Amino acid sequence: MHYLNFREEKIHGTPDFPLAFYHVDESHPRYEMPFHWHKELEIIRILKGSFDFYINGKRINARQGDILFVNQSALHGGIPCDCIYECIVFDPLALLMHTDSCRRYIRLLTGQNIRINPALSPDCLPFRKAVRRLFDFARKKEEPGSELFLLGSLFELFGVIYHFHLYEVFTENTSPDTEKIQVLKPVLEYIDQSYMKPVTLDALAKLAGMTPRYFCRFFHAFFHRTPMDYLNYYRIERACDFLSSSSLTVTEAAYRCGFNDSSYFVKVFKKYKGMTPRQYRSANASPTSVS
């Protein structure tokens, strides 16, 4: 699952059936989730452990059995802990707009007139059953007829969400975080495009149109990290990608990710990953990578 680009461009599923299923555990190369957004809807089910999840500045400590719903263009990311989780990512317009009587519901959602609650309680029995069926069919996506079962499960799930009012009516006036998100998107895009070069706090603050001191408070309130802490975290995630899927040496990966001192790179890497880069490579390297 490609979570590293801030604005995710990956096509989920196929053009004919734009729905993708992902099973993620600690061995998965995209186990952690840097902040990003995408046009698709996403449903996340926690199978084991916990997930410190952030969506549009709101922190959700999701645990086994919890369901998370990511609305279109929502800024989201987080850190799993001893966690196994599954995701379904899909384009609702392409999948669900083919029946006239259903279009009005999907348009409310994709037009952002409503926002489905990000932390959906599994206590509602019809909802829990609908989610379980959806993920069961997604896991068997290659079997004959699976697309029909998946579409039926999606319609059932959205029917339950509307029937039990598991959403809030959304307007610009009722979303105080809208302006914050628009201010922060260029900052995260800049980090995504420039993490391999020197990045200063002044440059990030200037993008947000704030003084560095105020920007630090503003950024931390939304992401629960300082700007430079997030930058280093993002660089280490990029380094993990290089170490697990390329033949770059540890020193080359460090320089490619904006670290000019390999010793400092090792220190920062251990801070975020609890191991050295070489230990990480040994545990996660593909056959083409080298030590």
Using an 8 Å Cβ cutoff, are 5 and 35 in contact?
no
pTM (predicted TM-score): 0.76
pLDDT at residue 2, rounded to an integer:
38
What does the domain layout of the chain look like in residue ranges? 19-172, 178-284
The angle formed by the CA atoms of residues 223, 202 and 214, to the nearest 5 degrees, is 50
pLDDT at residue 89, rounded to an integer:
94
pLDDT at residue 3, rounded to an integer:
40
- In the CATH hierarchy, which fold is given to the domain comprising 178-284? Arc Repressor Mutant, subunit A (1.10.10)
Q: Over the stretch 73-123, which tens digit does the pLDDT of each residue have?
A: 888 999 999 999 999 999 888 777 666 667 788 888 887 778 888 887 667
Q: What whole-number percentage of the chain has pLDDT above 90? A: 53
Instruction: Tell which residue, 243, 242, 204, has the closest CA to residue 225.
Output: 204
pLDDT at residue 169, rounded to an integer:
84
Query: What CATH number belongs to 19-172?
Result: 2.60.120.280
Q: Point out which residues pair with 23 in neighbouring strands.
A: 86
How far is residue 51 from each of residues 59, 85, 154, 199, measured CA to CA in Å? 10, 9, 24, 29
Find the range with the poorest average confidence among 86-90, 150-154, 168-172, 185-189: 168-172
Using an 8 Å Cβ cutoff, are 120 and 165 in contact?
no
pLDDT at residue 57, rounded to an integer:
84
| 19-172 against 178-284: fold identical | no
